[in-house]
């Protein structure tokens, strides 16, 4: 079976690997499982550097590290850890380097003194492999780690292989404001909406060509994944991608609720249900509840709540706020929800809520200005239509799945 390769030249589309669920009923097979079935062909005879964490594993629980470490024809020589580290448990601002105990391989941190693999880290590496479960959100840092590593690989003419995994929020919905051109950062690598509806393999293709990276890129697609599938429809086990994405429920509203944090609102970290609730000592729950219920936001309902977060802002303080319950995830527009929440807090608590601080993740200066002007959130969202349509046209040529 041929592999799907994208280089700085033409794109070759192998129909054999772009299989749909009918060919493999039941469970989605991730890129690492497809790679295993192909006897690791693109890695044979190579010294491999693996960018991964605890989510890099097969459906039967075998880690990609262990798989590659025990293939005689492949030599795994180095590991690279993203934000939160190899085990996905670190919540500090830096991940320390170390050694992996089972293999005694070096673990190079890509979230510390550098966020790119250096020449010293890549010494003795022939090919870089990426296998990490993403969250499907523009400001989730794993995709920037992937892109930075692709850039460094391209500079050294080093092949780069992406083992694809599902977008947990499905591959249909494209929602939220576009990132302003030039407002690039570790939480905004590419000008795209907050919810992009693409897999890491598809993103790698788009980054590679549109940003002119020119990496010798090979994507190993999944088998059986369709664009309409949410993660709980894939037959795969949910492994929290980061310490606070405990469930798909939290991940579903994360793109909207996380916007509030920089404005001085607890988003539920340090509670049993992060992102499914939010609050602050200065919020009046009933007042906010009445306002948001009057907005009739599709796909979600709110209930008053109070809690004491044990992480981030307002640690140990009594916070008043709202719990979110998604009533129809296919009707939920997280872009609209995010703007509705920002607008409500800005309207009701202008002295306490720091709307200006939310721009870093929101990514759109014009959207922020319209919220400040108290424009109706639905009109703000309608104003994104042309840009979102243009993005949909751009991404169409990079999609691997129906």
Bridge partners of 107?
Answer: 79, 98
What is the domain partition of the chain in residue ranges? 4-241, 248-363
pLDDT at residue 4, rounded to an integer:
33
The rounded distance, in Å, linking the Cα atoms of 180 and 178 is: 6
pTM: 0.93
pLDDT of residue 1: 28
Q: In terms of CATH, what superfamily is 4-241?
A: Uncharacterised protein PF07075, DUF1343 (3.40.50.12170)
Alpha-carbon torsion (278, 284, 285, 290), positive or negative = negative
Closest alpha carbon to 345 in 329, 322, 317 = 322
Calpha distance 2→270 (Å, rounded): 46
* 33 closest CA partner among 49, 54, 17: 17
CA distance 273 to 84: 19
Could you tell me which residues come within 8 angstroms of residue 95 by beta carbon, excluding any fewer than 6 positions away? 81, 82, 83, 84, 85, 109, 110, 111, 112
pLDDT tens, residue order, the chain (402 aa): 223 333 333 233 332 233 333 334 479 999 999 999 999 999 999 999 999 999 999 999 999 999 999 999 999 999 999 999 999 999 999 999 999 999 999 999 999 999 999 999 999 999 999 999 999 999 999 999 999 999 999 999 999 999 999 999 999 999 999 999 999 999 999 999 999 999 999 999 999 999 999 999 999 999 999 999 999 999 999 999 999 999 999 999 999 999 999 999 999 999 999 999 999 999 999 999 999 999 999 999 999 999 999 999 999 999 999 999 999 999 999 999 999 999 999 999 999 999 999 999 999 999 999 999 999 999 999 999 999 999 999 999 999 999
Task: Give the per-residue pLDDT at 26.
Answer: 74
Q: How far apart, in whole angstroms, are the C-alpha atoms of residue 240 and residue 283?
A: 30
Residue 19 has, within 13 A of its CA and on its CB side, a CA count of 20
Q: What is the DSSP letter of 137?
A: B
pLDDT at 208: 98
| Residue 336 pLDDT | 98
Collapsing DSSP to helix, strand or coil, 97 comes out as coil
Beta pairing, strands 217-220 & 193-195: unpaired
CATH code, residues 248-363: 3.90.1150.140
Rounded CA gap, 55 and 72, in Å? 24
Q: What is the radius of gyration, based on Cα positions, of the chain?
A: 21
């Amino acid at each position: 079976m041929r592999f799907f390769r994208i280089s700085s030249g033409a794109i070759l589309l192998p129909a054999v690997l772009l299989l749909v669920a009918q060919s493999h009923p039941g469970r989605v097979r991730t890129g690492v499982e497809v790679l295993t079935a192909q006897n690791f062909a693109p890695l044979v005879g190579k010294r491999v550097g693996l960018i991964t964490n605890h989510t890099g594993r097969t459906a039967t629980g075998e880690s990609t590290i262990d798989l590659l470490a025990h293939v005689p024809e492949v030599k795994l020589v180095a590991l690279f850890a993203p934000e939160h580290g190899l085990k996905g448990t670190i919540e500090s601002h830096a991940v320390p380097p170390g050694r992996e105990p089972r293999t005694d391989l070096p673990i190079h941190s890509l979230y510390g003194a550098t966020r790119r693999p250096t020449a010293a880290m890549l010494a003795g590496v022939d090919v870089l492999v990426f296998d990490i479960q993403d969250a499907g959100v523009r400001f989730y840092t794993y995709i920037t780690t992937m892109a930075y590593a692709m850039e460094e690989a391209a500079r050294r003419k080093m092949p780069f292989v992406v083992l694809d995994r599902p977008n947990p929020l499905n591959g249909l919905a494209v929602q939220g404001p576009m990132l302003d051109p030039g407002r690039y950062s570790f939480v905004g690598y590419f000008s795209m909406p907050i919810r992009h509806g693409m897999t890491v393999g598809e993103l790698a293709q788009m980054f590679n060509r549109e940003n002119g990276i020119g990496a010798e890129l090979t994507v190993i697609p999944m088998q059986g994944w369709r664009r309409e599938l949410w993660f709980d429809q894939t037959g795969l086990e949910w492994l929290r991608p980061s310490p606070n994405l405990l469930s798909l429920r939290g991940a579903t509203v994360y793109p909207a609720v996380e916007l509030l944090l920089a404005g001085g609102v607890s988003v539920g970290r340090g509670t049993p249900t992060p992102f499914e609730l939010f609050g602050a000592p200065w919020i009046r729950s009933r007042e906010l509840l009445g306002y948001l219920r009057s907005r009739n936001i599709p796909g979600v309902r709110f209930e008053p709540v109070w809690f004491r977060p044990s992480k981030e802002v307002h640690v140990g303080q009594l916070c008043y706020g709202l719990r979110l319950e998604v009533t129809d995830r296919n009707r939920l527009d997280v872009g609209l929800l995010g703007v509705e929440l920002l607008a409500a807090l800005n309207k009701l608590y202008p002295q306490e809520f720091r709307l200006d601080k939310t721009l870093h993740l929101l990514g759109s200066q014009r959207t922020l200005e319209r919220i400040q002007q108290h424009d109706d959130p639905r009109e703000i969202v309608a104003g994104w239509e042309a840009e979102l349509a243009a993005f949909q046209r751009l991404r169409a040529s990079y999609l691997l799945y129906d």
